[in-house]
Amino acid sequence: MTANPKMVERQNLDKETVKQINKLHDFDLEIREAMDSICDFNDAIRDLAVQWNLNQFALQILWGFACDARRHEDFTLPKCSCPYFDNMELLGTDMRYVNGDCIIHGFKQKVFSA
Ligand SMILES: [Zn+2]
């Protein structure tokens, strides 16, 4: 995957930064593939989701944006069963729709509803 050229221009990024961004985009895909290929090892899938989130922070830094987990589209990760469209609407806010049965996010609901 390559960085969006319009965004690169708008953010005024140098070649080295774009190279690093492309590497992290590839890493994003590798994490997603690993999540896809794991069957029922919930802990491993959650660990990969943590890695994916850290990678998103690194990408936000390289792009020159603030580190902001509220902008992470983690509901698009393989094995996530949280609602896509509802969460797209909430992107950038503190709120998320969580499917209690989601392998990745379901435990959060238990934590917050206690
Ligand atoms: Zn989920």
Rounded to the nearest angstrom, the distance between the alpha carbon of 106 and the centre of ligand 1 is 7
Rounded to the nearest angstrom, the distance between the alpha carbon of 79 and the centre of ligand 1 is 7
Rounded to the nearest angstrom, the distance between the alpha carbon of 54 and the centre of ligand 1 is 17
Rounded to the nearest angstrom, the distance between the alpha carbon of 76 and the centre of ligand 1 is 8
Q: Which helix (H) or strand (E) holds 36?
A: helix 15-37
- Indicate whether 91 pLDDT > 70: yes
pLDDT at 107: 66
Helix and strand totals (H; E) in the chain = 5, 0
Both tokens of residue 29? 């895909």
- Indicate whether 114 pLDDT > 50: no
Per the prediction, the chain carries an average pLDDT of: 90
pLDDT at 113: 38
pLDDT digits (tens, 9 = 90+) for 38-47: 876 788 899 9
Average pLDDT over residues 24-45: 90
Long-range CB contacts for residues 5-11, cutoff 8 Å, separation at least 24 = 7/63, 11/63, 11/64
Query: Could you tell me the pTM of the whole model?
Result: 0.85
pLDDT digits (tens, 9 = 90+) for 53-87: 999 999 999 999 999 999 999 999 999 999 999 99
